[in-house]
Structure 1
Amino acid sequence: MHPTKLLRGSKTRYLENKKILVGLTSSIAIIEAPKLMRELIRHGAEVYCIATEETKKIIGEEALKFGCGNKVYYEITGDLEHISLYNECDLYLIIATANTISKLANKIADNIVTTTYLMFKDKPVLVVPVMHINMYESIKENLDKLKYITPKIEEGKIKIDIERIVKEVIDKIGNKFEKKVLILNGSTVEFIDDVRVITNLSSGKMGIALAEAFLREGYEVYIIMGLGEEVPYYIKSFKVLTSEEMLKKALELGEEVDIIISCAAISDFVPEKKEGKISSDVEEITIKLRRNIKVLKKLRERFKDKIIVGFKAEYNVDEKELIERAKRRLEEYGLDIIIANDLSKNYFGSDNIEAYIIKKYGEVKKCHGSKKEVAKLIVSEVKQL
């Protein structure tokens, strides 16, 4: 097995058992092709590559072989590569110059890339235009005859946007998973006035690690994200600010999922909001806080039969007290699992965590390591429920 294939499924299983043909034409943008093909493989795909002879002046065959882990084809031989690859593959992705786009639009077949395109009359084809903006505008009429990915334009040129391309491929042929997980993540904010807020320093790293771990196990994952780390492009995410917005979105999305996990740092208290902006000239202000809604409790009241997992973060408490507080929360909210951690050991934003996985029947497991490692353990425990 080519070492590149060891990447398969390292991010998600959206393209598991999918075979993708990548066609390359002579644009300098194809130097990004190995990265693009390896990213498709990380989502589970088997990738094949064909290219015009002119591309050899821009990128070598060995670099492309490194990218896809398979032989690269430059011409049609007695093996009838255009037919065999059509039979083999689920989607054809073409990195196309202005010249190639015009040929495709007018069904001209004069090389392996354009000839293979004519074979894919009943299978999905996505064209990625790569050229100067002037050329793009000149051939837009031809491009509009094709199914293409909206281009990324920088410095007057259309460039390869790997994340956008992979997302389009996933949307077009990606697997749909039966089991669904909703993760509440990041920190919420509560408004003091129309300008200022109170919040906390949660990074959202734990929730993202959990989302990635569930994706690798073949779950459909949704994240409701407050403030914090940027959610990877391949995870379906919904941005919110306040705890009220987070609850509203969770009640909406919760209808469609099997598992709900809240590792969000949701505000415990909400200020009495002042209209407008409090003057910065005053020497002192008093902010009155009231107790906030308990999002997890509301979710359990609505979704009595779903698996619900919560997190309980404390600061500088001993192990026994941490576990006892977490158990009380688990029982009060009717959770299936609760994860307890002490922020004095690994503060917000840390890549590591020491935590206790506590099940509703009393079993307690201590775990520590990177958040990615602990996320795998949590997913394993949830799968056993």
Structure 2
Amino acid sequence: MSVLQGKKVVLGVTGGIAAYKSAALLRALMQAGAIVRVVMTPAAQAFVTTLTFQALSKERVYTELLDTDQEAAMNHIDLARWADLVLVAPASADFMARLAAGMANDLLSTLSLATTATIALAPAMNRQMWLNPATQENARLLRQRGLQLWGPDEGEQACGETGPGRMLEPDVLLAQAESIFASGSLQGKRVLITAGPTREFIDPVRYVGNRSSGKMGYALAASLARLGAEVTLISGPVALTTPDRVLRVDVETALQMEEAVMARASACDIFVGVAAVADYRPTEIAAKKIKKSSETLQLNLRKNPDILALVAALDEAPYTVGFAAETDDVEAFADAKRRAKKVDLIAANRVGGSRGGFEGDENALLLLWEGGREAIPMMAKPVVAERLAERIAERYHIQANLG
């Protein structure tokens, strides 16, 4: 049974082409057992009709701030008090701006000001609108006030451009909604997690790196925080927004990541090494840009410290989770890595294909621990992260009880 069973959700729909996805989201919420009331702005009705949501929900759709057909004519107060969660999907740039300014000129913005329920926004807009400093400032203000922003995603947009601004898919938003009502199984626990790539510099302008986008690590950090953990994220250079309720520490090189991790590892309960740390670094860094003067260039490389193994070897080591990115014999190599480094759980994935792994928006994992295994099928990374966070919490408590 989903944790959404019996939960009361106001689904707000604002103007944007992504409004068509809201119908699928409504179905998913209802199938999970949620009781859903749909509120549409006037702009939303230009993209999807009220009849669509009424037919799916078998309930009236709310559109008017002052509805003379209602005896009290105070829908904004009634819905605000009724809701356990207000989820606005899509949330347009205009709606975010009005909410940030405290405006209340339609039913959805007014009930958002009047409710004490959790408010979550799923932004959807053109990439330039999302990246505009005004929108970014509005997003920062809304987060600061306790609202949650789920997304946006990156990819091809209806306008033909590609970049950040797509609304998260309905299954991802469903997982996010479920996490709101999760039990808080890591409440009070301290989690240290690494994400992204490292850069090992050759000269002032060049470096040795890898294809890690940081998406899996950031999604997992967000999921662990939603379980109540106090999460510190040690991040390599990525173009991602820091998740809500997560403390971020930026680093570039493997040595910087090692220093940041080891300074905090003894104080954490759980360590998760998701970062794709470079195995080697140049023995020397040129002080000036190396000129293209010959057909070949030889680099001498030195092995970087194994951060995961160092944490697992601490006298009072935290519950330690590692990642293994493999191109072949995934289970065999991953299990060998788990045993050699003495980590408690390892999450293995195949990389190098057309789906999943580095840079992609989907992933599939094979989880291995002493005496057990679990396969998480190919899904959107935030959904995979929710599953993995739950398993980490479960295995952590089992081991703590045995200890």
Report the TM-score range of the alignment, normalised by the length of the smaller protein.
0.5 to 0.7
Whole-Å separation in 2 of the counterparts to 1:203 and 1:96 = 26
Which residue of the other structure, out of 307, 310, 315, is the alignment partner of 2:322?
Answer: 310
Task: Give 5+ residue unaligned stretches, structure 1.
Answer: 1-5, 10-15, 131-139
Matched-pair contact (CA < 8 Å) for 2:13–2:44: no
1:323-359 deviation per Cα after TM superposition (whole angstroms, max 9, x unaligned): 45542321xxxx3334567879999649676857243
Give 2:281's aligned residue.
Answer: 270
1:65-96 deviation per Cα after TM superposition (whole angstroms, max 9, x unaligned): 47988531242411553442232236877979
Whole-Å separation in 2 of the counterparts to 1:320 and 1:274 = 39
The reply to whether residue 260 of structure 1 matches residue 239 of structure 2 is no
The 10-residue stretch of structure 1 (233-242 or 268-277) with the greater mean CA deviation from structure 2: 233-242
Whole-Å separation in 2 of the counterparts to 1:47 and 1:300 = 46
Once the 2 structures are TM-superposed, how far is the Cα of residue 190 of structure 1 from its aligned partner?
A: 0.6
CA shift in 2, pair 1:206/1:249, >3 Å: same
RMSD between aligned alpha carbons? Answer: 6.2
Once the 2 structures are TM-superposed, how far is the Cα of residue 290 of structure 1 from its aligned partner?
A: 2.3
Once the 2 structures are TM-superposed, how far is the Cα of residue 262 of structure 1 from its aligned partner?
A: 1.0
Matched-pair contact (CA < 8 Å) for 1:127–1:149: no
Matched-pair contact (CA < 8 Å) for 2:103–2:109: no
SS of the equivalent of 1:73 reads coil
The reply to whether residue 247 of structure 1 matches residue 258 of structure 2 is yes
SS of the equivalent of 1:72 reads coil
SS of the equivalent of 2:257 reads helix
After superposition, residues 322-333 of structure 1 pair within 5 angstroms as: 323-324=335-336, 326-330=338-342
Give 1:384's aligned residue.
Answer: 398
Give 1:136's aligned residue.
Answer: none
Which residue of the other structure, out of 172, 178, 192, is the alignment partner of 1:182?
Answer: 192
CA shift in 2, pair 1:258/1:281, >3 Å: same
After superposition, residues 347-366 of structure 1 pair within 5 angstroms as: 349=358, 357-359=368-370, 363=371, 365=372
Once the 2 structures are TM-superposed, how far is the Cα of residue 273 of structure 1 from its aligned partner?
A: 1.1
Whole-Å separation in 2 of the counterparts to 1:66 and 1:256 = 53
SS of the equivalent of 1:384 reads helix
The structure with more radius of gyration: 1
After superposition, residues 20-59 of structure 1 pair within 5 angstroms as: 20=10, 22=12, 29=15, 32-33=18-19, 35=21, 38=25, 48-51=37-40, 59=48
Matched-pair contact (CA < 8 Å) for 1:181–1:219: yes
The reply to whether residue 78 of structure 1 matches residue 71 of structure 2 is yes
Whole-Å separation in 1 of the counterparts to 2:44 and 2:296 = 68
Give 1:291's aligned residue.
Answer: 303
Whole-Å separation in 2 of the counterparts to 1:207 and 1:224 = 10
SS of the equivalent of 2:294 reads coil
Matched-pair contact (CA < 8 Å) for 1:203–1:348: no
Once the 2 structures are TM-superposed, how far is the Cα of residue 278 of structure 1 from its aligned partner?
A: 0.9
The 10-residue stretch of structure 1 (257-266 or 174-183) with the greater mean CA deviation from structure 2: 174-183
SS of the equivalent of 2:193 reads strand
2:290 maps to a residue whose letter is I
1:158-194 deviation per Cα after TM superposition (whole angstroms, max 9, x unaligned): xx9867xx99xx9xxx788614543323332211111
State percent identity of aligned pairs: 23
Which residue of the other structure, out of 266, 291, 298, is the alignment partner of 1:279?
Answer: 291
- TM-score, structure 1 length as denominator? 0.57
Once the 2 structures are TM-superposed, how far is the Cα of residue 203 of structure 1 from its aligned partner?
A: 5.8
Whole-Å separation in 2 of the counterparts to 1:321 and 1:49 = 49
Whole-Å separation in 1 of the counterparts to 2:221 and 2:20 = 26
After superposition, residues 63-212 of structure 1 pair within 5 angstroms as: 63-65=52-54, 71-74=60-63, 75-76=67-68, 77-78=70-71, 80-89=74-83, 120=114, 178=187, 179=189, 181-202=191-212, 207=217
Number of paired residues? 333
1:82-120 deviation per Cα after TM superposition (whole angstroms, max 9, x unaligned): 44223223687797989x97xx98988xx86688689x3
Give 1:135's aligned residue.
Answer: none
SS of the equivalent of 1:241 reads coil
Give 2:128's aligned residue.
Answer: none
CA shift in 2, pair 1:247/1:381, >3 Å: same
Matched-pair contact (CA < 8 Å) for 1:187–1:202: yes
Matched-pair contact (CA < 8 Å) for 2:366–2:376: no
CA shift in 2, pair 1:53/1:268, >3 Å: closer
CA shift in 2, pair 1:234/1:300, >3 Å: same
Whole-Å separation in 2 of the counterparts to 1:127 and 1:368 = 31
CA shift in 2, pair 1:298/1:218, >3 Å: same
CA shift in 2, pair 1:87/1:301, >3 Å: same
Whole-Å separation in 2 of the counterparts to 1:270 and 1:252 = 21
1:346-373 deviation per Cα after TM superposition (whole angstroms, max 9, x unaligned): 99649676857243xxx3x455563657
2:316 maps to a residue whose letter is K
CA shift in 2, pair 1:41/1:235, >3 Å: farther
1:129-159 deviation per Cα after TM superposition (whole angstroms, max 9, x unaligned): x9xxxxxxxxx9xxx9xx9799x9xx9xxxx
Task: Give 5+ residue unaligned stretches, structure 2.
Answer: 125-133, 145-151, 153-158, 160-164
Whole-Å separation in 2 of the counterparts to 1:86 and 1:292 = 54
